[in-house]
Amino acid sequence: MSTTASAPTAALRGFSDLAGRFDLCFCDVWGVVHNGVAPFPEAVDALVRMREQGTGVVLMTNAPRPAELIAGQLDGFGVPRTAWDAIVTSGDVCRALIGARAGRPMFRIGPDRDLPLTAGLDAPEVAAAEADYVLCTGLYDDTADTPQTYAALLRDFAARGLELICANPDLVVERGGEIVPCAGSVALAYEEMGGTAIYAGKPHRPIYEMALAIAREKRGAEVPRERICAIGDAIRTDIAGAAAFGVTGIMVLAGIHAQDLMEATWEERHGWFGRQTHRPDYALPHLVW
């Protein structure tokens, strides 16, 4: 169960410090297993060892794409399928949200690489003025655009009362050592303008329910919350989501908060955790066994 704000975060040498504690692990992908360019071999080894020790692994990502595409990406990185039992994405949850709006005209904000998200769905893409709702999968060009780039467009949508479905609640992500904005930053800007955003992924409950249902089916048994951990690198999504779902939160420090945490002492890290909305139960620099 997640700690209170006043309880200290325990430092781990590796996941083996907790071996035997958990039957199921929800593990973040980008920032923990890979950095968008290359995998982290020690993290992959840790996941393989978890499964060998009897801990099921469901990879849980805010990527706005179906799970099979993430599996293909991991294959391309050389991550063996022995490292995971299943993959759940915010894209999977998002498709259900779009399906509930079948036939309604949609305006899409995001790169064309995310088009598989709507493949096969009755989601006609139209011009901004004709839309009944908005789908945001990311920024058109996340190397140059910011949410402010779309300010006029978002203000018009908010004035019309359109819902914005956010396919990736992450604010930013690390890509090969660079921090780039994600769909969550656009959704947050939209809410600040008075618009309504609906989030498909972490830290919101639907993606955890989907992951747990898949794990339950694979194991053929219920998994108590106290026997589940969630590993991630982001306070706002991974650690907050673990706390809300009532499972143990384990934070990898060398992710999007690396600038604040990697060179800090443990005393400084505890102070930093205390200033955040949520505190992880455990933390370690990188996911290792």
* All structural domains of the chain with their residue ranges: 10-91+203-284, 97-199
13, 11, 17, 18: which is closest to 267 by C-alpha?
11
Chain center to CA of 165: 15
pLDDT of residue 65: 87
As a whole number of angstroms, the distance between CA 173 and CA 41 comes to: 19
Q: What is the mean pLDDT of residues 206-227?
A: 95
pLDDT of residue 6: 56
pLDDT of residue 2 exceeding 50, the answer is no
One DSSP character per residue, 24-80 reads EEEE--BTTTB-SSSB-HHHHHHHHHHHHTT-EEEEEE--SS-HHHHHHHHHHHT--
DSSP bridge pairs for 166: 136, 199
Say yes or no: do domains 10-91+203-284 and 97-199 share a fold: yes
As a whole number of angstroms, the distance between CA 29 and CA 26 comes to: 10
pLDDT of residue 3 exceeding 80, the answer is no
Q: What is the mean pLDDT of residues 120-136?
A: 98
* CATH classification number, 10-91+203-284, choose in 3.40.50.450, 3.40.50.1000, 3.40.50.300, 3.40.50.11540: 3.40.50.1000
For the stretch 12-61, pLDDT in tens is 999 999 989 999 999 999 999 999 899 999 999 999 999 999 999 999 99
Please tell me the CATH code under which domain 97-199 is placed: 3.40.50.1000
Label residue 5 by pLDDT band (50, 70, 90). very low
With contact defined as beta carbons under 8 Å apart, do 217 and 236 qualify? no
- Name, in order, each residue with C-beta under 8 angstroms of 62's C-beta and a sequence gap of 6 or more: 30, 89, 90, 168, 169, 170, 182, 184, 201, 202, 237
pLDDT of residue 179: 87
Amino acid at 220: G
